[in-house]
């Protein structure tokens, strides 16, 4: 096993108060979670549940653009997680507090229930449309994706080539602009985890994969901006016969929320550069001035 979770990212990165990142781990039904994930391949959703999200048949985006901001942080929660007190909430909050007033936060609007084929397909379509619409409306915006469990699967498949996806094969692809604006991605307890990939961080066994591993090297394009956190006893990202609930919720109190937030913050524009840019900007009364990191009219 290897432990790569304690990286040098903390050097030069703002300190994140541990108390800020403490969450209450929910109860997890290990058997139900495993069965729901395995049904993604064993029992595909009926076509009528998925066809409305086919991007070729219905090309119009299913979301509207949000207001432009320097950073957009999107969270995709795990199966059965409430929208409040989810694993990713304090991570997103720490990122927001590192850049006060510059971060828009969005919780991906998808079911996150045990109907993963249908719900995950909706999640992938919603995420892809959101990123593409934002890239067009806000060309200077940078985006951050945070995913846990089923949410990690949805994010990973949205970033992958359609032929390698388990959900959302027909929901479209990211535009070149949206891909370029993707600043950082942090995943926890990913069902499609690949132990040999360099994006993995944690106490995992590199010889073990998740329940539904993607092809090795599937995140190669994003290697420098993606961290896939996994611990040794997480039955979702380390596929074993064990049905131990504690591993899959260990991220609530093992410090990896801090690590994920620090990884993202290290990718943000340094505050000193932001201050220098603002100081050099024309005065508000200058008709030629353009707000930093917002879309031009």
What pLDDT score does 35 carry? 80
> How far is Cα 199 from Cα 231, in angstroms, rounded to an integer?
14
Starting at the earlier edge strand, list the strands of the sheet with 200-201.
Answer: 103-107, 71-76, 142-148, 182-188, 226-229, 200-201
Label residue 271 by pLDDT band (50, 70, 90).
low
What pLDDT score does 277 carry? 55
Q: Is residue 21 part of a domain?
A: yes
Write the pLDDT tens digit of every residue in 18-40. 333 434 555 556 667 778 887 88
Q: Is residue 128 part of a domain?
A: yes
Q: Is residue 292 part of a domain?
A: no
Q: Is residue 111 part of a domain?
A: yes
Q: Which residue has the higher pLDDT, 35 or 125?
A: 125
Label residue 13 by pLDDT band (50, 70, 90).
very low
Mean residue pLDDT of the chain comes to 83
**Residue 293's closest CA among 7, 39, 114, 72?**
72
Tokens 């469990």 -> residue: 149
Q: Is residue 134 part of a domain?
A: yes
> How far is Cα 112 from Cα 109, in angstroms, rounded to an integer?
9
Q: Is residue 273 part of a domain?
A: no
Q: Which residue has the higher pLDDT, 37 or 271?
A: 37
User: Domain tally for the chain?
Assistant: 1
| pLDDT score of 291 more than 70 | no
Q: Is the dihedral of CA 215, 116, 251, 27 positive or negative?
A: negative
Give residue 55's domain range.
8-268
Q: Which residue has the higher pLDDT, 275 or 265?
A: 265
| pLDDT score of 99 more than 60 | yes
> How far is Cα 217 from Cα 81, in angstroms, rounded to an integer?
29
> How far is Cα 173 from Cα 176, in angstroms, rounded to an integer?
9
Write the pLDDT tens digit of every residue in 128-179. 999 999 999 999 999 999 999 999 999 999 999 999 999 999 999 999 999 9
What pLDDT score does 245 carry? 75
- How deeply is 221 buried, as exposed, middle or buried, from its count of CB atoms within 10 A (0-12, 13-18, 19+)? middle
What pLDDT score does 272 carry? 52
CATH number at residue 90: 3.40.50.1820
Average pLDDT over residues 231-254: 85
What pLDDT score does 82 carry? 84
| pLDDT score of 61 more than 80 | yes
> How far is Cα 57 from Cα 107, in angstroms, rounded to an integer?
26
Q: Is residue 49 part of a domain?
A: yes
What pLDDT score does 269 carry? 81
- How deeply is 26 buried, as exposed, middle or buried, from its count of CB atoms within 10 A (0-12, 13-18, 19+)? middle
89-98 helix and 256-267 helix, angle to the nearest 10 degrees: 40
Q: Is residue 125 part of a domain?
A: yes
Label residue 83 by pLDDT band (50, 70, 90).
confident
């Amino acid at each position: 096993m290897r432990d790569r979770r304690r990286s040098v990212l903390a050097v030069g990165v703002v300190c994140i108060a541990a108390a800020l990142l403490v969450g209450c781990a929910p109860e997890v039904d290990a058997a139900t979670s495993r069965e729901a994930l395995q049904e993604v391949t064993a029992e595909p959703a009926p076509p009528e549940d998925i066809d409305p999200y086919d991007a070729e048949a219905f090309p119009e985006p299913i979301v509207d653009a949000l207001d432009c901001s320097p950073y957009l942080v999107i969270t995709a929660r795990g199966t059965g997680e409430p929208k409040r007190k989810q694993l990713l909430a304090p991570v997103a909050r720490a990122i927001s507090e590192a850049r006060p007033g510059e971060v828009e936060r969005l919780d991906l609007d998808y079911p996150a229930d045990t109907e993963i084929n249908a719900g995950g397909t909706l999640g992938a379509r919603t995420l892809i449309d959101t990123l593409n619409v934002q890239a067009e409306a806000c060309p200077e915006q940078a985006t951050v994706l945070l995913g846990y469990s089923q949410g990690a699967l949805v994010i990973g498949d949205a970033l992958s080539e359609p032929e390698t996806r388990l959900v959302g094969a027909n929901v479209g692809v990211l535009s070149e602009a949206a891909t370029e604006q993707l600043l950082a991605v942090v995943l926890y307890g990913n069902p499609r985890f690949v132990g040999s990939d360099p994006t993995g961080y944690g106490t995992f066994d590199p010889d073990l994969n998740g329940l539904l591993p993607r092809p090795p090297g599937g995140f190669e394009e994003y290697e420098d901006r993606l961290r896939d956190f996994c611990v040794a006893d997480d039955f979702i990202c380390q596929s074993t016969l064990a049905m131990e609930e504690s591993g899959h919720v260990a991220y609530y109190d093992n410090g990896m929320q801090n690590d994920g937030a620090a990884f993202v913050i290290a990718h943000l524009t340094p505050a000193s550069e932001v201050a220098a840019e603002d100081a050099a900007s024309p005065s508000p009364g200058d008709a030629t001035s353009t707000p930093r990191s917002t879309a031009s009219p």
